[in-house]
């Protein structure tokens, strides 16, 4: 009975991991600009790879393989967000063309390209003045 449950768990993990990896690949292939492609590859690719590593850990069942698989999952979870952020920042700073359907750019006018720093957003008059204290 437990072998059947373990086999079913492995099937679910492998199919889910392969499905998320497929979604990541389709996202890279079909999405219109680099920021959207990066988003698809980082989110779905990390989840797909993590599920596949967990399936390998359960299937083999040896302590050293489980430790390596969990270390791989941890490595993916810790490094992918940082790498995605750096890739997105580099594409923005280099001026890589974005999708023409994008209607808003929250960073427009905030980056000092010579110093490679981002300034805080400009404060509006309403947010700069404190609200009067209410009388009790």
User: Which residues is 117 bridged to in the sheet?
Assistant: 112
If you average pLDDT over residues 41-64, what whole number do you get?
Answer: 93
- Residue 124 has a pLDDT of 62
If you average pLDDT over residues 114-120, what whole number do you get?
Answer: 74
If you average pLDDT over residues 19-46, what whole number do you get?
Answer: 90
DSSP state of 100: T
Range with the lowest mean pLDDT among 11-25, 31-45, 112-126? 112-126
If you average pLDDT over residues 80-94, what whole number do you get?
Answer: 87
pTM for the structure as a whole: 0.74
Does residue 135 carry a pLDDT above 90? no
């Amino acid at each position: 009975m437990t072998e059947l449950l373990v086999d079913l768990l492995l099937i679910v993990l492998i199919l889910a991991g392969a499905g998320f990896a497929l979604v990541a690949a389709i996202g890279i292939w079909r999405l219109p600009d680099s920021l959207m492609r990066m988003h698809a590859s980082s989110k779905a690719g990390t989840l797909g790879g993590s599920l596949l590593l967990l399936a390998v850990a359960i299937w083999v069942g040896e302590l050293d393989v489980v430790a390596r698989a969990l270390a791989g999952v941890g490595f993916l979870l810790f490094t992918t967000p940082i790498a995605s952020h750096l890739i997105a920042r580099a594409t923005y700073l280099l001026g890589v063309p974005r999708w023409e359907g994008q209607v808003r750019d929250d960073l427009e006018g905030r980056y000092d390209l010579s110093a490679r720093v981002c300034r805080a957003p400009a404060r509006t008059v309403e947010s700069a003045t404190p609200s009067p204290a209410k009388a009790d």
